[in-house]
């Protein structure tokens, strides 16, 4: 490339894009949008329509893998030419946000005195890829948010502008890639990285496998559906295996041991792989909060003193690039299933969640998950050391975790103490063979805390308690309030029953528990479950079994398999049943910056949110 022309390469990339209308099936339970719309490359259109309709015609409609938002890639400095063909019975367009173009010919809209750049047939657009990043495109012939418009049915996609001379390849086959949500990116003079495109949607217009609007099985009321990249895994489909009406199965609702993997695309990497997540909001009316467990990124990627985040609010049509610090597995080289989701809980339970699976061993396409699903091959990044191969005692995650598909996940080995001594679950030899060298309860498969912290572990003994909490002088109260408290506080007030009486007589004013530690500390939380096994029925909720509790922290380092305070993917269920004590270990990374050098880290129960 001549420096005088940088970043203009003189290169022209041409894409032939078509809009198609098919039923989009969002999960294996047969939830579908009968009026799904998507952009596809013309060369793929007939195959996608044929395969998608064939799967839609099954007794329970099934998704087709290639039904996904269209993502195309170009290099910075490229001129992008798009021939858009529309054979549907409505005017459509492609409007890209963030790239430069002539608004008279390439805006994909019909506004003011500009030429109409929507079409009922065929039109050419020209864009200029001046800046690296991710850019959403969508239909602007019909910009409404109603069910009669195009956006709610999926008519959006993205163009990603990579570095000059970068190349992109299929992560499973290693072949050159024309389009796709996931890619391995190779760029001159810099490390290769995994690139994941993640699209958040507005609430969908969805029917169940019977062709009826979905109903929440617990309330009998209409159930909404939210999605990631044309897939959704709502909790209403993950029904409890028992017939107890009080059992919501919320504690295991994200467990692959019970239900298999979720429908939204799972991200795959080897531990240590550099990673960028291209996060997009394809919708036009709702706000979401993207939260990724275990990992963080800088708000301003190139600013070393920028605020560090593990959650970010994303509004309609926004796009972000999340350059993950330390890559897959973060600072402490986590392996296992890392969950990400919308942190607005109604959206989470309506299906907006999935997993990032971080492997410890080479996946060559020959293995199976515990439910018999084949494990796809994952090509190692060519500039990184090859992952070790699997062997009998090291079969690769998740196949060293003890459990049985169709049953509840087991509690972490050594990680849950019984009230009379001992633990609920001892490791089998296969699990022990995959422990890190200095494994301790709460940090078995990841060396959570650096060696220099081993002699100064800060231990917090915590209990979860239920009591009537009065919130103000007018008597507003929660008769079944639940909260964290230090166990020494219970002892100081004469034990659990005495403490509860004092709370309910308002002699003790309950406050959210705040514990303190220094940057660089290793902390151990020992959380004892002193709660009743049920929340009783009230005008606000049905009687619900809540017999296990966990402890999930943001913005710290931990072993995701045993210390996430929940049961995600093929991980253990990190929770304590009544009178048991859960042991979890966390490292407060020294370089965490939350506005300043110090900050607040929130924690919650991760089993019954």
Asked if residue 455 and residue 355 are part of one domain, the reply reads no
Q: Tell me what the mean pLDDT of segment 111-137 comes to.
A: 97
Structure confidence by residue, pLDDT tens digits, 195-223: 999 999 999 999 999 999 999 988 889 99
**Residue where a domain stops, chosen among 329, 359, 389:** 359
Residue 278 CA to residue 153 CA, distance in Å, equals 21
Number of neighbouring beta carbons within 10 Å of residue 362:
17
Structural domain contains residue 121: yes
Asked if residue 320 and residue 467 are part of one domain, the reply reads no
Q: Supply the CATH number for residue 549's domain.
A: 2.60.40.420
Contact 126, 159 (CB under 8 A): no
What are the C-alpha distances in Å from 588 to residues 310, 370, 601?
14, 34, 9
Asked if residue 568 and residue 461 are part of one domain, the reply reads yes
Structure confidence by residue, pLDDT tens digits, 75-105: 999 999 999 999 999 999 999 999 999 999 9
Structural domain contains residue 2: no
Asked if residue 30 and residue 177 are part of one domain, the reply reads yes
Backbone angles phi, psi at 370, to 5 degrees: -60, -20
Asked if residue 125 and residue 17 are part of one domain, the reply reads yes
DSSP state of 501: H
Structural domain contains residue 110: yes
Q: Where are the alpha helices (DSSP H) in 219-368?
A: 256-259, 345-349
What is the full DSSP assignment across 17-66?
Answer: EEEEE-PEE-STT--EETT-EEEEEHHHHHHHHHHHHHHHTSSS----TT
Structure confidence by residue, pLDDT tens digits, 244-283: 888 888 899 999 999 999 999 999 999 999 999 999 999 9
From the number of C-beta atoms within 10 Å of its C-beta (0-12, 13-18, 19+), residue 381 rates as buried
The whole-number pLDDT of residue 600 equals: 52
Q: Which residues contact 241 (CB under 8 A, 6 or more apart)?
A: 249, 258, 406
Q: How is residue 365 written in tokens?
A: 């396409």
Structural domain contains residue 301: yes
Asked if residue 461 and residue 321 are part of one domain, the reply reads no
Contact 266, 355 (CB under 8 A): yes
DSSP E strands, 100-192? 122-128, 133-138, 156-162, 167-169, 182-186
The whole-number pLDDT of residue 591 equals: 56
Structural domain contains residue 69: yes
Asked if residue 597 and residue 464 are part of one domain, the reply reads yes
Structural domain contains residue 408: no
Asked if residue 476 and residue 339 are part of one domain, the reply reads no
Please state the separation of Cα 566 from the chain's center in Å.
Answer: 14
Nearest one of 237, 252, 218, 217 to 546, comparing CA atoms: 252
Residue 83 CA to residue 14 CA, distance in Å, equals 8
Lowest mean pLDDT: which of 74-78, 118-122, 448-452? 448-452
Contact 396, 367 (CB under 8 A): yes
Residue 45 CA to residue 21 CA, distance in Å, equals 10
**Residue where a domain stops, chosen among 337, 359, 381:** 359
Asked if residue 598 and residue 474 are part of one domain, the reply reads yes
**Residue where a domain stops, chosen among 324, 339, 359:** 359
Q: Tell me what the mean pLDDT of segment 292-301 comes to.
A: 95
Structural domain contains residue 353: yes
Count the domains in the chain.
2
Q: How is residue 15 written in tokens?
A: 């894409």
Q: Provide the pLDDT confidence category of residue 454 given band limits of 50, 70 and 90.
A: low
The whole-number pLDDT of residue 446 equals: 95
Range(s) of the domain holding residue 567: 451-604
Residue with tokens 């939210």, as numbered in its chain: 226
Asked if residue 460 and residue 345 are part of one domain, the reply reads no
Structure confidence by residue, pLDDT tens digits, 368-419: 999 999 999 999 999 999 999 999 999 999 999 999 999 999 999 999 999 9
Residue 160 CA to residue 129 CA, distance in Å, equals 9
Structural domain contains residue 236: no
């Amino acid at each position: 490339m001549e420096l005088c022309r940088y970043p203009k390469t003189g290169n022209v990339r041409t894409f032939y894009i078509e809009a198609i209308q098919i039923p989009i099936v969002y999960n294996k339970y047969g939830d579908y949008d009968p009026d799904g719309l998507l952009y596809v490359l013309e060369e793929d259109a007939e195959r996608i329509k044929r395969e998608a309709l064939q799967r839609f015609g099954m007794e329970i409609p099934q998704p087709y893998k290639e039904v996904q938002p269209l993502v195309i890639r170009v290099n910075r400095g490229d001129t992008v030419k798009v021939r858009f063909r529309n054979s549907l019975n409505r005017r459509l367009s492609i409007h890209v946000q963030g790239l430069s173009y002539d608004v008279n010919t390439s805006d994909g809209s019909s506004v003011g005195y500009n030429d109409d750049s929507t079409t009922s047939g065929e039109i050419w657009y020209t864009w200029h890829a001046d800046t690296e990043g991710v850019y959403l495109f969508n239909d602007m012939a019909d910009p409404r948010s109603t069910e009669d418009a195009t956006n709610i049915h999926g008519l959006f996609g993205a163009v990603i502008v990579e570095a000059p001379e970068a190349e992109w390849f299929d992560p499973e086959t290693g072949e050159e890639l024309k389009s796709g949500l996931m890619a391995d990116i190779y760029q001159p003079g810099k490390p290769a990285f995994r690139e994941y495109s993640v699209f958040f949607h507005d609430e969908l217009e969805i029917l169940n496998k019977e062709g009826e609007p979905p109903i929440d099985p617990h309330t009998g009321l209409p159930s909404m559906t939210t999605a990631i990249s044309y897939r959704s895994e709502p909790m209403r489909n993950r029904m409890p295996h028992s017939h107890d009406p009080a059992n919501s199965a919320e504690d295991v609702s994200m467990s692959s041991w019970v239900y298999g993997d979720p429908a939204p695309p799972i991200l795959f990497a080897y531990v240590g792989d550099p990673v960028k997540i291209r996060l997009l909001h394809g919708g036009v009316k709702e706000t979401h909060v993207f939260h990724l467990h275990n990992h963080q990124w800088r708000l301003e990627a190139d600013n070393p003193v920028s605020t560090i985040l593990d959650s970010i609010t994303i509004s309609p049509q926004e796009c972000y690039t999340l350059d993950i610090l330390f890559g897959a597995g973060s600072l402490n080289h986590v392996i296992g299933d890392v969950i990400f989701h919308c942190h607005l809980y109604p959206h989470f339970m309506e299906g907006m969640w999935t997993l990032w699976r971080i492997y410890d061993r080479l996946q060559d396409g020959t293995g199976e998950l515990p439910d018999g699903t084949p494990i796809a091959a994952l090509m190692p990044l060519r500039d990184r050391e090859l992952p070790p191969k699997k062997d009998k005692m090291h079969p690769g995650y998740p196949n060293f975790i003890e459990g049985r598909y169709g049953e509840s996940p087991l509690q972490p080995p050594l990680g849950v103490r019984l009230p009379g001594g001992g633990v609920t679950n001892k490791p089998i030899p296969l699990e022990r063979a995959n422990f890190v060298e200095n494994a301790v309860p709460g940090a078995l498969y990841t060396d959570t805390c650096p060696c220099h912290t081993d002699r100064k572990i800060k231990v917090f003994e915590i209990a979860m308690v239920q009591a009537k909490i009065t919130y103000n002088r007018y008597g507003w109260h929660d008769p079944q309030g639940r909260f964290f408290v230090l166990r020494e506080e219970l002892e100081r007030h004469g034990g659990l029953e005495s403490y509860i009486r004092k709370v309910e007589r308002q002699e003790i004013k309950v406050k959210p528990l705040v514990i303190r530690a220094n940057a660089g500390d290793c902390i151990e939380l020992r959380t004892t479950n002193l709660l009743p096994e049920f929340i009783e029925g009230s005008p606000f909720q049905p009687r619900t079994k809540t017999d296990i509790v966990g402890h999930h922290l943001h913005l710290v380092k931990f072993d995701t398999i045993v210390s996430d305070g929940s049961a995600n993917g093929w991980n253990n269920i990190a929770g304590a049943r009544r009178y048991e004590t859960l042991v979890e270990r966390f490292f407060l990374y020294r370089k965490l910056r939350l506005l300043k050098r110090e900050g607040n880290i929130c924690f919650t129960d991760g089993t019954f949110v």
